[in-house]
């Protein structure tokens, strides 16, 4: 009986959209400095798909252009990784909401289809709510670091984490990593 009650509560709390994303009811995720952070999750599960579809509805874009457009809309508060954007674009293509209208080499230009436009129109209230949260994030983030700087900082953290997790480093490798970091600090301090 207790577990049935838990399942009912969970089912009431989450409503699933076509992408499998949950809409949280009674909780507002994505904002408000939990654990001292300035922002929590920007998007609930499935929200990014709506944003990407909206981006290509505005104009056909390459995946990199979608990443940059989202960075700009969020004022640097969030920069989606290629590992999130490209699978999302592929999903939108597979669902018939986007098409590759032109391909040059490895670069695909994604455009919205009529089915994608209809889907956005049907879900306009969801899209509007997501875009409103994006505007609020941009306004709250204000004059924070540029998206390029945030991306570079994240890339540095990931590179260090990957390099140091590959096993024990030799003394020479430790010195080389420390010297590279010290050099970066020196260069950053001297930027005018």
The verdict on 52 and 93 lying in the same domain is yes
pTM over 0.85: no
| Confidence class for position 57, pLDDT limits 50, 70, 90 | very high
Residues 80 and 125 in one domain: yes
In the chain, at which residue ranges do the beta strands (DSSP E only) sit?
Answer: 14-16, 22-24, 61-62, 98-104, 107-112
Quick check: is 12 in a domain?
Answer: no
The model's confidence at residue 97, banded by pLDDT at 50, 70 and 90, is: very high
End-to-end CA distance of the chain: 66
In terms of residue numbers, what domain contains 130? 42-144
In terms of domains, do 50 and 109 share one? yes
Burial of 26 (0-12, 13-18, 19+ CB in 10 A): exposed
Are both 91 and 159 inside the same structural domain?
Answer: no
Which residue, 106, 129, 144, sits at the end of a domain?
A: 144
- CATH, residue 60: 1.10.10.10
Q: Residue 21 domain-assigned?
A: no
Does 190 lie in the same domain as 156? yes
């Amino acid at each position: 009986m207790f577990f049935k009650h838990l399942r009912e509560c969970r089912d009431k709390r989450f409503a699933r959209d076509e992408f499998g994303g949950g809409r949280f009811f009674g909780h507002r995720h994505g904002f408000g400095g939990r654990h001292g952070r300035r922002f929590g999750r920007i998007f609930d599960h499935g929200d990014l798909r709506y944003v990407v579809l909206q981006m290509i509805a505005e104009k056909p874009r390459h995946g990199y252009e979608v990443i940059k457009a989202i960075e700009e809309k969020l004022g640097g508060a969030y920069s989606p990784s290629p590992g999130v954007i490209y699978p999302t674009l592929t999903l939108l293509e597979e669902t018939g909401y986007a098409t590759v209208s032109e391909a040059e080499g490895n670069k695909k230009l994604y455009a919205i289809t009529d089915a994608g436009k209809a889907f956005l129109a049907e879900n306009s209230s969801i899209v509007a709510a997501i875009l409103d949260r994006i505007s609020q994030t941009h306004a709250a983030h204000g004059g924070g670091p540029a998206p390029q700087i945030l991306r570079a900082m994240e890339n540095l953290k990931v590179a260090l984490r990957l390099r140091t997790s590959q096993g024990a480093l030799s003394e020479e490798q430790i010195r080389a990593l420390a010297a590279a970091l010290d050099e970066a600090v020196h260069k950053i301090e001297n930027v005018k």
